[in-house]
């Protein structure tokens, strides 16, 4: 029974389709696994045994077929699920149950994928360690005293703990990729606009991108194909057809990268990466060269401003996006004892309901948008964004993809980066540039450093999601996958 949780999504899908195993058996195996280990991992905020089994049963009755029919999935709690609590890991939404499904959730349901539950995250997707969840952190299955990354630590940990074969994450500055890197799993950020944001609780609207997470590149690609595609309810949703990422992944798995040019970003070279991370990264590069790829050094001179630009743009947009949490229509209302005005009740509600990182970013964003400061901060950051985009475009004229370590450090111990917020921000150093550009990027496990996973990041031009899957699959074929110690 338990080895069903060790199988890939692709494998599970084919066994369910051939009726070798039932979808209910598969869902049950994963739900039992969650029961067995999640007290220690704390990947889930809510488990929906009844709903998952009902969805699985529908697949067994032959009501739904498809490439991933019957394969269970975990969904980051920042995405609305009708009838299932959705909190964005915040106290301000404790107990809120959405009356509607996000578009990507509708697609999961239409694909016959039982939803096991909602996964833990940094509050409102702001963070790189899941330590800012209002409901307690998630523990990295590789070492329970270490962070699983963030903001999507719950989804990544669920995969690494074999609680789910697939998971949905969202990536604004690296929130899919960095958790993937530190948990030894695959996490992909599609081209911005490639996956619908309708139903994604907004953090930074021009950067937020829902994406697929899995333990293998092929699994991730299969999920990508289910959730991606145009949505008329999201005006920033791109109209172009979804590139054939599954075919690209399978092509890459044959291990031939002849003629593919990998761009090494000069400006990332010395940036405070741990030696173990750099070592694993370089070995992987060599492995790719052995497969026929060529490494070219490129210069992206404005990448050094990506982090500061991001920490102006994202907080600004979030200060506006989070204004709706005011205790009027849903969520927490605090201090309404009949003596206070609405303004006071709103302020008390928000101070009680939001955690410190969220409050910091709201204040920072309000500042950056203030008249008198707008030009120097938010306005200037948007210009830097243009320059970063031009750096990418220029680089992609020379190379096919850009590569880097996903994050400068392996999973760090709890509490080691929370006293100085900026130290936490540094985890996103390599992931942020592509969010500002809007291009796709993926993190693939590439090695270990002192027993902890290292991630390899591949960035592709906008709309060329298939290209990154090809290179990712090739790397995976060379280095294999990595299994954490038993829980």
Residue 326: DSSP 8-state: S
Nearer to another protein, 177 or 215 (CB): 177
User: Binding of another protein at residue 468 (CB under 8 A)?
Assistant: no
Nearer to another protein, 226 or 362 (CB): 362
Spot the catalytic one: 8, 175, 316, 443: 175
Structure tokens at 62: 């032959």
Please give the residues from 223 up to 242 whose contact with another protein meets the rule CB under 8 A: 232-236, 238-239
DSSP H or E segment with residue 402: strand 401-405
Nearer to another protein, 79 or 160 (CB): 79
Q: Between the CA of residue 252 and those of 218, 246, 333, what are the distances in Å?
A: 10, 10, 52
Is residue 341 among the annotated active site residues?
no
Please give the residues from 173 up to 212 whose contact with another protein meets the rule CB under 8 A: 192-193, 197-202, 205-206
| Closest alpha carbon to 88 in 366, 370, 351, 325 | 325
User: Binding of another protein at residue 418 (CB under 8 A)?
Assistant: no
Q: Between the CA of residue 383 and those of 195, 318, 445, what are the distances in Å?
A: 25, 19, 34
For another protein, which stretch binds (CB under 8 A), given 99-107, 132-140, 155-163, 470-478?
99-107
Residue with tokens 């080691």: 416
Cα–Cα distance for residue pair 401/260, rounded to 1 Å: 8
- Provide the minimum distance between the beta carbon of 412 and another protein in the complex, in angstroms, as a whole number: 19
User: Binding of another protein at residue 328 (CB under 8 A)?
Assistant: yes
- # residues contacting another protein (CB under 8 A): 96
Spot the catalytic one: 76, 109, 118, 189: 76
Nearer to another protein, 124 or 412 (CB): 124
Is residue 151 among the annotated active site residues?
yes
Please give the residues from 437 up to 456 whose contact with another protein meets the rule CB under 8 A: 437-438
Cα–Cα distance for residue pair 312/66, rounded to 1 Å: 42
Please give the residues from 103 up to 142 whose contact with another protein meets the rule CB under 8 A: none
Please give the residues from 296 up to 315 whose contact with another protein meets the rule CB under 8 A: 302, 305, 307-309, 311-312
Residue with tokens 């990264």: 281
| Closest alpha carbon to 384 in 438, 332, 433, 325 | 433
Cα–Cα distance for residue pair 142/155, rounded to 1 Å: 14
Cα–Cα distance for residue pair 377/57, rounded to 1 Å: 53
Please give the residues from 7 up to 46 whose contact with another protein meets the rule CB under 8 A: none
Contacts of 461 (CB under 8 A, 6+ apart): 392, 393, 396, 439, 467
Please give the residues from 342 up to 401 whose contact with another protein meets the rule CB under 8 A: 342-348, 350-351, 354, 356, 359-360, 362-364, 366-367, 369-371, 374, 376-387, 389
- Provide the minimum distance between the beta carbon of 158 and another protein in the complex, in angstroms, as a whole number: 21
Start-to-end Cα distance in the chain: 17
Which residues does the annotation mark as catalytic?
A: 76, 151, 175
């Amino acid at each position: 029974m338990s080895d069903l949780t060790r199988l890939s999504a692709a494998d599970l899908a084919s066994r369910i389709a051939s009726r070798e195993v039932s979808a209910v058996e598969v869902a049950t195996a994963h739900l039992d696994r969650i029961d067995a280990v999640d007290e220690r991992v704390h990947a889930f905020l809510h488990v929906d045994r009844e709903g998952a089994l009902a969805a699985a049963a529908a697949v067994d009755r032959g009501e739904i077929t498809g490439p991933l029919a019957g394969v269970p999935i975990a969904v980051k709690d920042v995405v609305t699920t009708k009838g299932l609590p959705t909190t964005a890991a915040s106290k301000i939404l404790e107990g809120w149950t959405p009356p509607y499904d996000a578009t990507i959730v509708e697609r999961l349901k239409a694909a016959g994928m039982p939803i096991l539950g909602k996964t833990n995250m940094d509050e409102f997707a702001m963070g790189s360690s899941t330590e800012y969840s209002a409901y307690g952190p998630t523990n990295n299955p590789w070492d329970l005293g270490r962070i699983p990354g963030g903001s999507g630590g719950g989804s990544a940990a669920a995969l690494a703990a074999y609680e789910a074969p697939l998971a949905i994450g969202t990536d604004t500055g690296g929130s899919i990729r960095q958790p993937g890197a530190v948990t030894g799993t695959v996490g992909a950020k599609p081209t911005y606009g490639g996956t619908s944001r309708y139903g994604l609780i907004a953090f930074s609207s021009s950067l937020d991108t829902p994406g697929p997470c899995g333990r293998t590149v092929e699994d991730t690609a299969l999920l990508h194909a289910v959730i991606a595609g145009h949505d008329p309810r999201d005006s920033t949703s791109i109209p172009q057809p979804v590139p054939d990422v599954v075919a690209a992944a399978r092509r890459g798995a044959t291990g031939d990268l002849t003629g593919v040019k990998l761009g090494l970003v000069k400006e990332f070279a010395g940036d405070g990466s741990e030696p173990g991370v750099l070592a694993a990264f370089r070995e992987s590069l060599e492995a790719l060269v052995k497969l026929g790829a060529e490494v070219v050094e490129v210069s992206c001179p404005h990448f050094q401003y990506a982090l500061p630009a991001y920490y102006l743009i994202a907080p600004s947009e979030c200060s506006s996006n989070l204004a709706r949490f005011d205790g009027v229509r849903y969520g927490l209302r605090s201090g309404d004892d009949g003596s206070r005005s609405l303004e006071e009740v709103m302020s008390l509600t928000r101070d009680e309901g939001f955690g410190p990182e969220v409050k910091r970013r709201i204040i920072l964003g309000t500042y950056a948008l203030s008249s008198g400061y707008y030009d120097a901060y938010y306005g200037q950051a948007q210009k830097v964004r243009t320059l970063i985009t031009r750096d990418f475009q220029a680089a992609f004229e020379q190379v096919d993809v850009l590569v880097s370590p996903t994050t400068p450090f392996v999973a760090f111990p709890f509490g080691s980066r929370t006293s100085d917020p900026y130290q936490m921000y540094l985890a996103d150093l390599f992931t942020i540039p592509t969010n500002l550009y809007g291009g796709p990027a993926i993190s693939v496990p590439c090695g270990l450093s002192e027993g902890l996973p290292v991630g390899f990041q591949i960035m592709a031009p906008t709309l060329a999601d298939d290209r990154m899957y090809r290179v990712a699959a090739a790397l995976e074929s060379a280095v294999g996958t990595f299994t954490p110690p038993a829980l």
